[in-house]
Structures are given as C-alpha cells and as structure tokens.
Chain A
Amino acid sequence: NAGVTQTPKFQVLKTGQSMTLQCAQDMNHNSMYWYRQDPGMGLRLIYYSASEGTTDKGEVPNGYNVSRLNKREFSLRLESAAPSQTSVYFCASSEVQGSSPLHFGNGTRLTVT
C-alpha cells in the first residue's frame, strides 16, 4: 500500500525552465493538495482539488498550474521556474476536504539556479 507517491524526489532546474511534479494516491481519496515547505515558513498551500474535476488556488498559487488528471493523480506545473520557487514540495490527499487528516507524500526537493 503505497499511499501518496511523488516523482521525482529531487530536481535541479535553470531559471526559465519548466517542469511537472507528479503525484498519485491509491487510497481512493477525494481531495488532493500541493504544499511547499520553506525554512521558517511552515507548509503553505499552493493549490488544492476538493474533488475530481475541480481545482482552486491556495495561499501561494502564483507561478504554478495544476491538473487533476483523474481521482488518483494531481500534478503541479512550473511553466517558467524562478529561484524563489526553490523549495520542498509536498503532495497530500484526504478522504474529505476539511474534515479528515491529510496524508502526505515524501516530497520533491526542487532547486532553481
């Protein structure tokens, strides 16, 4: 039982390059989320998807796009990476938004030079 799987684990990009972070969950959860973690800032919500077919902005959405491909998969795209997007990115899922705990993946460490 894998839970929440994120790929890749590590990535280095040059400024202006694009990439997509992949996330898949096998718990049949309805809601999925993307967070970023920066030193001294805790975890901040980038985008979330309350259910398949819907996506909404979180606290720090600028510079990112998301796709809820199906119930299992939720991807995060950086169209033109900037050094300020250097961070650790966590995908999470929950059975129901707002009333059940989040289950997190192990993160993607992204460095933008």
Chain B
Amino acid sequence: AQSVAQPEDQVNVAEGNPLTVKCTYSVSGNPYLFWYVQYPNRGLQFLLKYITGDNLVKGSYGFEAEFNKSQTSFHLKKPSALVSDSALYFCAVRDTPNGGDNAGNNRKLIWGLGTSLAVNP
C-alpha cells in the first residue's frame, strides 16, 4: 500500500543553521513526491516536487529536497534556516493504486502527518 512517513513530529533548529525535515515513502511505481508548508492560520502552500530528472530538486523560499531511490526518502533541506521558516511541513506522494506511472485521472495525494519546524533566534 502507498504510504508516507514523517518520522519526526517536531524539529528544532537555530537560526542560520542547516535544517532537514525527513520523509520516507512507499509506492508501487515510480514516485511523484511533494513538499507543502502550512504557516499558522494559513492554507497549505506548494514548496517543490519531484517527478523525474535530477535527484536534487530546488523549490520556493530557498528550500530543496533530495530524492533517494535506494533509501525511499525525500528529505527537505535548507542550508540556513530563518525564524520565518517556522511552520508545519507536509510530505506527500501521488497515489498510484494500480501501480505504474499513470493512474489515469486520479490525482489524489497521500500525505504524511506533518512535521512542526521551530527555528529559534
């Protein structure tokens, strides 16, 4: 069954330090992977995605994520954290219930439970 795991409920990092928010996945075909961010009292915002190509994907606000097929991971990273990065981060994978790369018109995403990132000044 398709699934996404974010093993850390909370990540704390000092401002200016590098940050990593972890995500591992399980899918039957090639994964389509996403990161979203939710700031307090706001809806979700798209950060970046991996569909194919380079394993290192660059996204919004200076974030990047590294796709690692052997470890089935898609960790979110940023070289230097800002206090304003404090938010809830969600990893997601596109559902491929029938396996393979094309699940027809189904665009449902399977979500991790989220990781709360706190950047301390």
The answer to whether A binds B is: no
